[in-house]
Amino acid sequence: MTEPGSRPLIIGNWKMHLSASRAAAHARELLALPPPPGDREIAVAPSFTSIPAVAAAIKGSALRLAAQDLAFEDEGPYTGEVSGAMLQDLGVTYVLIGHSERRQHLGETDLMVARKVRAALRADLLPVVCVGEQETARASGRASTVVRGQLLRAIEDVPRGEASRLVISYEPVWAIGTGRAASPADAGEMQALIRREATRLFGEAAKGIRILYGGSVSPANIDSFMARPGIDGALVGTASLDPAEFARIAAFRRPT
């Protein structure tokens, strides 16, 4: 089975942008830039239709491939769905699950997220489970309650032996695509909550879980986020569509 690394992880989520030819060109442009230090993992998540073209463009490089979603079943009469086995066959390593845009616009529920986590693990993919609160929840002091509930419902049925294969991305919904990132301190507090809950579920195995921050990550703030103890990387949206900006994010600097 694919084993996760302990290295920081930066994922660029291209969402519903870039045709297959443009996505491949985008990947090649990214690879032409100075590479980040080798102590971290970098991945890109193109749309389903662009995965084969991007896979060909990055073949032989250290850049990893992620998918933006997967079906909760392995096969069957599910028109329009893409299974984990199909993604694994294309060379995908990571898969985003439960992104707030899917929850908000496509009706994805916590139950569906939990089923997709298990489907990803069955397919030897590494699930990146997205959790985060709406602005109203933060304003009313319920952010921790919302995130804790999403997290536990998503991962409580994961066997302890597979816990280290999980990645959790804290993405406050109000920060996604708005230019209003959470403060590094707030992100750090939520990371600590996620780590505590994971440890309660999985014990020592939770140490292998990487916790990312996502939500208006940019070259201007990535160093501040990565300076927070316990933040293991970032899920990058808009800025990942600019190869130079994403390359700078991937080359984040931590205090020495």
pLDDT interval class at 179 (50, 70, 90): confident
User: How far is 169 from 130, CA to CA, in rounded Å?
Assistant: 5
Amino acid type, 216:
S
User: Residue 203 domain-assigned?
Assistant: yes
Residue 1: the pLDDT is 46
Range of the domain at 137: 70-233
User: Residue 47 domain-assigned?
Assistant: no
User: Residue 126 domain-assigned?
Assistant: yes
What is the full DSSP assignment across 7-50?
S-EEEEE-TT---HHHHHHHHHHHHHSPPPPTTSEEEEE--GGG
User: Residue 84 domain-assigned?
Assistant: yes
Contact between residue 251 and residue 243 where contact means Cβ atoms under 8 Å apart: no
User: Residue 53 domain-assigned?
Assistant: no
Tell which residue, 124, 131, 87, has the closest CA to residue 108.
131
Residue pLDDT, tens place only, 226-248? 999 999 999 999 999 999 999 99
pLDDT interval class at 211 (50, 70, 90): very high
What is the full DSSP assignment across 210-252?
EEEEESS--TTTHHHHHTSTT--EEEESGGGGSHHHHHHHHT-
**CATH number, domain at 138?**
3.20.20.70
User: Residue 21 domain-assigned?
Assistant: no
Number of domains in the chain: 1
Question: What pTM was computed for the model?
Answer: 0.95
User: Residue 226 domain-assigned?
Assistant: yes
Q: What single DSSP character describes residue 91?
A: T
Residue pLDDT, tens place only, 88-119? 999 999 999 999 999 999 999 999 999 999 99
Q: Once rounded to an integer, what is the mean pLDDT over residues 136-149? A: 92
User: How far is 226 from 9, CA to CA, in rounded Å?
Assistant: 11
Active-site annotation, residues = 99, 171
Amino acid type, 18:
L
User: Residue 88 domain-assigned?
Assistant: yes
Residue 4: the pLDDT is 54
Strand, coil or helix: 167: strand
